[in-house]
Amino acid sequence: EWFQTTNVPGVALRSKAASTSFEIALRQQKSYRVQELTPIAKIHFDAAYDSNTSSSASGLVGWDSRGVLIVWKIAIHRNVPSPFAAEAHACLEGVNLGISLRIHSVKLMGDSKIVRKKCQETSTDKSVIGAIIRDIQQKKSDFQYLIFQYTHRSENLVAHRIAKIAFEKGETIYLRGEELDSQNLASVGYRSRNLD
């Protein structure tokens, strides 16, 4: 076995070790290309927290791979122990939103570095938000690609603003597709022409 052919025309390798490392590199390159070409929807999430009532509100805004607004959601959560837990609830809402929209490739973007890090880990989280993180980790298999990415607060203003609106409204609101016109957005308290 001094020469071993590969799936690449005209390429022959001298040894098995070389063949193995070449094939690994080729698989990694193909995998990278697939990830690069896969359309990824973005869901921005943020949370607002009220320590007086131990409640939080999650603000979520989703765009498709072309940058078109596809969903807008606010949700209220009760008995939330901390702002940290509020951010974890918002992230879980983002995961659930991606599942309900049947989006296979999602980039969840939020401004909590700690929640992002815990969601990416595979070990069991034993912190106060461990149960929420476990729920998120168990739902990862519902996606082809699920990326948790930190985004600066200044780039997450829409999600932040609608989380604050949620407290004023006191209810869960879900707008999708044709419901996302400016009149409906204004009726729930959002008055911006540019959602980017």
17: in domain: no
Burial 16-40 (b: 16+ CB within 10 A, else e): eeebeeeeeeeeeeeeeeeeeeeeb
The stretch 37-64 carries a mean pLDDT of: 90
154: in domain: yes
Condensed to tens digits (0 to 9), the pLDDT of residues 129-182 reads: 989 999 999 999 999 999 999 999 888 888 988 888 888 888 888 888 777 776
194: in domain: no
The residue range of the domain holding 59 is 39-188
Give the total number of structural domains in the chain. 1
Residue 135 is part of a domain; what is its CATH number? 3.30.420.10
Using DSSP bridges, classify how beta strands 41-50 and 105-110 pair: parallel, antiparallel or unpaired: parallel
118: in domain: yes
Model confidence at 104: pLDDT above 80: yes
Average pLDDT, the chain: 79
111: in domain: yes
Model confidence at 56: pLDDT above 50: yes
Whole-angstrom distance, CA of residue 58 vs CA of residue 80 = 12
Read off φ and ψ for residue 178, nearest 5 degrees: -65, -20
Whole-angstrom distance, CA of residue 132 vs CA of residue 125 = 9
The stretch 63-80 carries a mean pLDDT of: 91
* pTM attached to this predicted model: 0.74
Model confidence at 94: pLDDT above 70: yes
